[in-house]
Amino acid sequence: MSEPSPQQVSSSTPNLERAERTTCCYLSSSSTQFCEIYIMRHGETDWNQQGIFQGHTDIPLNAQGEEQALSLRSIFQHIPFSCVYTSDLMRAKRTAKIVVSSSPLHENVKIYEHSKLRERCMASWEGKSIADWRQYISQLSTTPNRESTQEQVLNFKWDSGVESYGQAFSRLRSFIEEIVHNHWGQTILLSTHGGILGSVLYSLNFQMGRKWRVSNCAWIKIRVSSNLEFSVLDHHGVELESYPHHH
């Protein structure tokens, strides 16, 4: 795609002042514009390592999590992020700070906190073991399985206070729709949580009979168009697994 001249940018396009500070190209307001967004999971915490649900509980990175964030920094150091938005939980904030530190390209990149980027709420299950949860949901008739539809997976809740994948994606989507008009033609970074990445994958890249596993410091690259269509461009550190057979 050839880069348009500045004259092609319509003054009616909202919030262009910040966008014009980047070298990325963008199109006239009569054409579709895009924002590319990297959505990453934070590094490891002790509760991750121990298999305990965190949800909104504010747990810091452990030493392994700090190392994972440093490794991700080496991958992201050449990506021209215009800004970073992070969950207000310390594990995501710390990961964001490490990832954009020590790179000349990110020297003036600002980091903004927002509660809409928090992990899925796990309600009374926060602080409980994932092993106990697996045992509990194995007894429920609504637990996702090989035959589950996308709607069933997105709406699954094993407790009334728990946030479903569908609810988590709606929260993320509303946040992106709030801020994306500041970032046409730019690339931005969101520092968030495993359940949020899962919500993106099940919403945009659902595959019947398969479930997604999201590693610490995994990331998904999506494109959002000016007509607010979302598409997955790339991902790293996420894997598809088959549901177990039930006899």
Phi, psi of 52 (to 5 degrees): -120, 135
Please give the positions annotated as active site: 42, 119
Burial degree of 3 (CB within 10 A; 0-12, 13-18, 19+) = exposed
User: For residue 148, what pLDDT is reported?
Assistant: 97
Sheet order of strands, 81-87 included = 111-114, 81-87, 187-192, 34-41, 210-225, 230-242
**39 pLDDT more than 60:** yes
- State the pLDDT confidence band at 7, using cuts at 50, 70 and 90: very low
What does pTM read for this prediction? 0.87
Lookup: tokens for 93? 């904030």
User: For residue 76, what pLDDT is reported?
Assistant: 98
Q: Among 10-19, 45-54, 186-195, 238-247, name the one with the lowest average pLDDT.
A: 10-19
Q: Which domains does the chain have, with CATH numbers?
A: 35-242 (3.40.50.1240)
Place of tokens 């305990």: 52
Taking only the tens place, the pLDDT of each residue in 162-174 is 999 999 999 999 9
Return binding residues for substrate: 41-48, 91
What rounded mean pLDDT belongs to the chain?
Answer: 90
Positive/negative CA dihedral, 121, 122, 124, 128: negative
**9 pLDDT more than 60:** no
- State the pLDDT confidence band at 179, using cuts at 50, 70 and 90: very high
What stretches of 102-164 show up as alpha helix (H) in DSSP? 130-137, 150-155
Taking only the tens place, the pLDDT of each residue in 203-245 is 999 999 999 999 999 999 999 999 999 999 999 999 999 998 7
Taking only the tens place, the pLDDT of each residue in 57-112 is 999 999 999 999 999 999 999 999 999 999 999 999 999 999 999 999 999 999 99
